[in-house]
Structures are given as structure tokens and as C-alpha cells.
């Protein structure tokens, strides 16, 4: 039996994570759940959005399934996601993106993966208010973090049978920081003769992803660029509602829905649980339950192919009914 930390999060998190939990249990995978609380609602109850016992639970179990958590804009506490990644050194943000038959999207045969560095760049949050009209942020890029994220991208490409890795950067302008990232990528790429390597400037990559996404297999990027590209690429396959995600480190991994907490529809059975369900499928594979994970992915694909979709995707099913459809195909 595997024990997994379960964090429902805020807003629709309670609904989509309940759906993912039900789907996992339908596969018969031998999993025990250890429930923890984090997010804005936890902050109201306990005075802080995340405390040590949540981090300790994930560290002990090695795996968590997490719902979306709300983060105040321009004030209040920092992101729960950033705190978890920082405390547990979850240096990889992994976003495999594929299109599904039956889901309207721009590219019906798309299958690519974004590997985002999770621990540095501008997201370290090192900022200062120089004057009331002047604020500054420090961007940090290191050789160690750059090398290990690119290594992960190439190892992932080999494991998944991908043919090409593309490094994303802005080294033409950020010559020292992004220049270091690009140089590290080239050095690592030289060790993988079986995988094609190229690089792309971030703004050109955004345009090219919209015009010609099939030319990419695996994209590896520093933190901010990877965040932007992940959402952009999600739009190509139908939106954040169908995009799974994971944050992975040497000793722990957190699998989570990549969309927000959507408080305006919380409790109305309108949420699309696909992102959480597919993230749970990734979790099952990570835990060694590969057949169970593949069953979940196949069941989601079958539901879509038979026209069983949530309202946001043009269907007429609520969160619970779609979950029941997925379980039916399992």
C-alpha cells in the first residue's frame, strides 16, 4: 500500500480532487489517503495558508495529490505552490499536453511536454521597494539548477520516446542569466546524441507554438518562461481544464490540477475535473501503478470520444456526472 498526502485546496478544489480520488479508487490501486489542509481557507482557519505539518506529510509520504489554492494578488501571503516547491526542492514542473478526440481545440493531434525549472528565476521572490515609485526584483539563474532541469528534460525525452528537446530563453537580451541557462543546456545536450537539440527565444517560441506546435516534442525553460508557455500550450489542446501537471524533486512529488480555484463556480457542480483526474493518472504511474494510470487516461479519452464532456468543453455534464462517466469506462 502507498500513502498519499491529499490536499483539497480552495474553491472547486474540493470537487475536482474528490473526483480524482474516486477515479483512483475505481482502478483498484492500493492507496491510503492522508488529508492535509492548505490555501486561503486554511489561512482563515489557522492563521497561515500552509504549516509545517503539511510539508512534513508530503516529505514522509513522498507523494501528494493537490487541488488549486487561492493566492492574493498584490498583497497577503505568497503562493502555497511556491512554498511547497521551495521547501521540498521540487525543481521540475512537468506539463504533458495532448489533444483528445471529441474536445474542440486548435490542434487535434498535438502531443508535447513542457519541462519548467521550478526553484529560481524571478519566482524566488527577491524584491525590494527602492522608492514609492521604484520597485526591483532579482532574477537568479545558477549552473546547478540549469543543468539538472535540462538533464531531466533529456532523460524524460528518452523514457517517453521523444525525439527533440528545445531550450527556451531570452539570451539575446539577458546575456548573463539566460546566457548561462542556454550554455548549460548546450553542454548537457552534447551528452545525448540520440536526442535532437535546438533552442528558441521565448517570444519567437510563443508565436511558433501557435503557428506550428507539432514541430516541438519537449520544451525546457527557466521558471517564468515555462509558466507562460505551459498556459499558452494548454490553450492549444482545449484549455487548462484538460491539462495535468506535476512538481517533482529527488525525494517527493506533488501532482495537481493546473487551473485556479474558480470560487465563482465552487459548489455548483460546474467544475471540470479532467486536469485533476489526469494529474492523478500521472501520480499512479509515478507510484508504480502504471496500468492503473493508463486505465485512467484511456477512460478519459473514451468519455470525450463518446461526447461525454463538462459544460466548459461544450458538453452538458457536471463534475459528478463526468466523474461517473470516467469511472464507467474504467
Tens of pLDDT, residue by residue over 172-184, are 999 999 999 999 9
Residue 183: which of 193, 195, 173, 169 has the closest Cα? 169
> Of the listed 170, 200, 295, 309, which one is catalytic?
170
Report the alpha-carbon angle 126-129-130, nearest 5.
115
For this structure, is 170 an active site residue? Answer: yes
Q: Can you name the CATH fold of 1-96+240-330?
A: Isopropylmalate Dehydrogenase (3.40.718)
Query: What pTM value is reported for the model?
Result: 0.93
> Residue 159: helix, strand or coil by DSSP?
helix
Q: What is the dihedral of CA 78, 248, 116, 144, to 10 degrees?
A: 100
What pLDDT was estimated at residue 78? Answer: 61
CATH of domain 111-236: 3.40.718.10
Residues sharing a CB contact under 8 Å with residue 289, sequence separation 6 or more, in sequence order: 2, 27, 29
What pLDDT was estimated at residue 115? Answer: 98
What pLDDT was estimated at residue 72? Answer: 56
Query: Rounded to whole angstroms, how far apart are CA atoms 312 and 315?
Result: 7
Residue ranges per structural domain of the chain: 1-96+240-330, 111-236
What pLDDT was estimated at residue 79? Answer: 79
What pLDDT was estimated at residue 123? Answer: 84
> Of the listed 203, 250, 268, 328, which one is catalytic?
203
For this structure, is 123 an active site residue? Answer: yes
> Of the listed 91, 123, 156, 289, which one is catalytic?
123
Q: In degrees rounded to 5, what are phi and psi of residue 64?
A: -140, 150
Cα dist from 302 to 96, 193, 289, 307, 325, whole Å: 19, 37, 20, 9, 9
Q: In degrees rounded to 5, what are phi and psi of residue 230?
A: -60, -45
For this structure, is 231 an active site residue? Answer: no
Q: Quick one: which H or E segment has residue 127?
A: strand 127-131
Q: Which position has the grid cell 539575446?
A: 172
What pLDDT was estimated at residue 74? Answer: 44
What pLDDT was estimated at residue 43? Answer: 86
Report the alpha-carbon angle 89-33-262, nearest 5.
70
> Of the listed 8, 156, 227, 289, which one is catalytic?
227
Largest Cα–Cα distance of the chain, in whole Å?
Answer: 60
pLDDT, tens digit only, all 330 positions of the chain: 999 999 999 999 999 999 999 999 999 999 999 999 999 888 888 888 999 999 999 999 999 999 999 865 444 556 788 889 989 999 999 999 999 999 999 898 999 999 999 999 998 889 999 999 999 999 999 999 999 999 999 999 999 999 999 999 999 999 999 999 999 999 999 999 999 999 999 999 999 999 999 999 999 999 999 999 999 999 999 999 999 999 999 999 999 999 999 999 999 999 999 999 999 999 999 999 999 999 999 999 999 999 999 999 999 999 999 999 999 999
Tens of pLDDT, residue by residue over 229-288, are 999 999 999 999 999 999 999 999 999 999 999 999 999 999 999 999 999 999 999 999
Amino acid at each position: 500500500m502507498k500513502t498519499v498526502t491529499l490536499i483539497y485546496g480552495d474553491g472547486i478544489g474540493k470537487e475536482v480532487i474528490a473526483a480524482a480520488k474516486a477515479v483512483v479508487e475505481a482502478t483498484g490501486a492500493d492507496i491510503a489517503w492522508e488529508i492535509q489542509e492548505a490555501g486561503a481557507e486554511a489561512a482563515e482557519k489557522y492563521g497561515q495558508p500552509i504549516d509545517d505539518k503539511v510539508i512534513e506529510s508530503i516529505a514522509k509520504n513522498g507523494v501528494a495529490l493537490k487541488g488549486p489554492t487561492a493566492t492574493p494578488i498584490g498583497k497577503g501571503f505568497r503562493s502555497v505552490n511556491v512554498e511547497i516547491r521551495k521547501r521540498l526542492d521540487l525543481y521540475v514542473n512537468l506539463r504533458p499536453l495532448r489533444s483528445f478526440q471529441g474536445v474542440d481545440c486548435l490542434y487535434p493531434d498535438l502531443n508535447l511536454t513542457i519541462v519548467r525549472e521550478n526553484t529560481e528565476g524571478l519566482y524566488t521572490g527577491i524584491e525590494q521597494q527602492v522608492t514609492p515609485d521604484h520597485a526591483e526584483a532579482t532574477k537568479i539563474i545558477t549552473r546547478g539548477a540549469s543543468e539538472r532541469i535540462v538533464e531531466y528534460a533529456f532523460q524524460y525525452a528518452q523514457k517517453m520516446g521523444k525525439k527533440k528537446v528545445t531550450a527556451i530563453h531570452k539570451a539575446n537580451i539577458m546575456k548573463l542569466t539566460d546566457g548561462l541557462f542556454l550554455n548549460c543546456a548546450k553542454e548537457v545536450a552534447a551528452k545525448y546524441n540520440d536526442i535532437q537539440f535546438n533552442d528558441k527565444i521565448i517570444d519567437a517560441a510563443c508565436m511558433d507554438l501557435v503557428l506550428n506546435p507539432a514541430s516541438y516534442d519537449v520544451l525546457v525553460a527557466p521558471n517564468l518562461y515555462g509558466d507562460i508557455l505551459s498556459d499558452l500550450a494548454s490553450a492549444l489542446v482545449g484549455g487548462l481544464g484538460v491539462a495535468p501537471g506535476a512538481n517533482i524533486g529527488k525525494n517527493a512529488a506533488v501532482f495537481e490540477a493546473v487551473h485556479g480555484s474558480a470560487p465563482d463556480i465552487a459548489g455548483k457542480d460546474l467544475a471540470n475535473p479532467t486536469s485533476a483526474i489526469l494529474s492523478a493518472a500521472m501520480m499512479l504511474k509515478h507510484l508504480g501503478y502504471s496500468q492503473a494510470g493508463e486505465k485512467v487516461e484511456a477512460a478519459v479519452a473514451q468519455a470525450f470520444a463518446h461526447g461525454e464532456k463538462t459544460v466548459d468543453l461544450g458538453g452538458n455534464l457536471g463534475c459528478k456526472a463526468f466523474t461517473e462517466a470516467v469511472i464507467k469506462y474504467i
